[in-house]
A and B are shown apart, each in its own frame.
Chain A
Amino acid sequence: MRRARPLLGTIVEIEVDGVAQAAGEQAIAGAFEAVSLVQRLMSFHDANSDIGRINREAFRMPVTIHPWTARVLRHAQTFHAASNGLFDCAVGFELMRHDLLPSDDLDHVAAGDFNAVRLSADRSVRLTAPVAIDLGGIAKGYAVDRAIASLRAAGIRTATVNAGGDLRVMGEIDQPIHVHVPNGGLVPAGHLRNGAIATSSAVATVDRIGACRPPSSGTDGRAYSVVAPSCIAADALTKILVQTGEPQHPCFARFGATAFITGGNLPSMAA
């Protein structure tokens, strides 16, 4: 049974197998509710979401956030440190400057990095500099993980959740995985069991190595993929792969991940 809904700015597809119709419908509805909660908590566009409030208020006063948002920010901190700053969710300024995100009420925001984010044990957030956080590079992967957790709690044993290319499979079956190459076709990449894969293109990633890549420069025709045990790791690590172009970067092994680049002049560079 497969269902799809528009969420997180993309189309989220959930498939479950080996379960009766009614139980499957109920489990899928619960999983969509988990994805929907991630969207409500972590949307940059919504001034009342946790992220909306952090970006508007946390430079002046502490903002208390939901445990799921706190979890994602802690992961973001880990990936930021492990990549020497290449993975950085404090890119709101750059994304607004390129009109990739709306800047309503955010005139005070300046360029900065994730070191400005202080998260205490009581889930209150302070910003030590007027940065803006965008979880676009990590929240979709987390939403996929929450959906899988919700399905598992509902007794589902075989499932796939795909949020616009960030996907995770559960169950004792090897699932064939294809990678969509920008401006190209689909390339069979391998088989995955109980794991996640995410794929990014160079267009949507803010470059922390050189200057910010203007969106008008377009795609380099390559798909940057990371396979990892969790979708949050796969999602976040693709941003490091896009910037380094190195599937052998030590960052990936540290998180139990495998990276590869497809398309362009490098049809398949397996790590």
Chain B
Amino acid sequence: MKWTPILTAPAAIVLIAPASANVYMSEQQAMQAIFPGASFSAGSRAGVFRASSGGIVVIDRVLGKHEYIKYAVGITAGGTVKGIEILEYNESYGYEVREASWRSQFVGKSASSQLQLNVDIKNISGATLSAKHITDGVRRLVGQFQSLKGQ
């Protein structure tokens, strides 16, 4: 292990508020990942795809307080969850930074202080993100399976 900390004096804090957008896979890739080898036909309802091997894939979106998640859930012909893949995940840490009053507390603290916006940043260690919105979304779609598979 090698750890090289950034040794910042308290006044030289650098806050970065990205509107980070993570695109993981396409709808097609997700369908293949969930039902490998199957072919897919689009249902009449947008975002519903029927797999040749039986079962469906539904592309859905959930909107949380600070995040937007696009995901795919595969449901078997028997109505159970086959797999879940996240296609896109956007999280905004920027909402406080847009508040001028919040931002002003950092103004003038140090010449090296800076606010960077719209930077794509990986490797974020922090308070746990909740997957609750996805879990709720999947539960809702499984509940609608009988009507979805006919579409």
Give the residue among A2, A174, A197 with the most B Cβ atoms within 10 A. A2
Judge if A189 is at the interface, Cβ distance under 8 Å. yes
**Which of A160, A164, A174, A229 contacts B128, CB < 8 Å?**
A164
Given that A162-B123, A187-B13, A189-B6 are contacting pairs, would A194 and B135 also be in contact in the complex, using a CB cutoff of 8 Å? no
Determine the interface band of chain A, counting residues with CB < 8 A from chain B: 35 or more
Set of chain A residues within 8 Å of B69, measured between Cβ atoms:
11
**Which of B18, B97, B123, B126 contacts A175, CB < 8 Å?**
B123
Judge if A228 is at the interface, Cβ distance under 8 Å. yes
A6 touches B135 (CB 8 A): yes
A190 touches B3 (CB 8 A): yes
Give A230-271 interface residues, CB cut-off 8 Å to B: 256, 258, 260, 266-268, 270
Judge if A182 is at the interface, Cβ distance under 8 Å. yes
B1 touches A223 (CB 8 A): no
Given that A4-B22, A11-B129, A193-B2 are contacting pairs, would A188 and B16 also be in contact in the complex, using a CB cutoff of 8 Å? yes
Set of chain A residues within 8 Å of B24, measured between Cβ atoms:
2-4
For B, the interface residue count at a CB cutoff of 8 angstroms equals 44
A218 to chain B minimum Cβ distance, whole angstroms, is: 12
B123 touches A6 (CB 8 A): no
Closest to B67 in A: A11
Closest to B119 in A: A186
Report the bound CA distance from A148 to B119 in whole Å. 27
A178 touches B124 (CB 8 A): yes
B128 touches A185 (CB 8 A): no
A185 touches B1 (CB 8 A): no
Judge if A167 is at the interface, Cβ distance under 8 Å. yes
* B positions within 8 Å CB-CB of A: 1-8, 10-11, 13-18, 22, 24-25, 33, 69, 71, 84-86, 89, 93-94, 96-97, 121-132, 134-135
What are some 16 contacts across the A-B interface (CB < 8 A)?
A2-B22, A3-B85, A9-B130, A11-B134, A15-B122, A164-B128, A165-B129, A166-B125, A179-B126, A180-B124, A185-B17, A187-B13, A192-B123, A199-B127, A256-B1, A260-B5
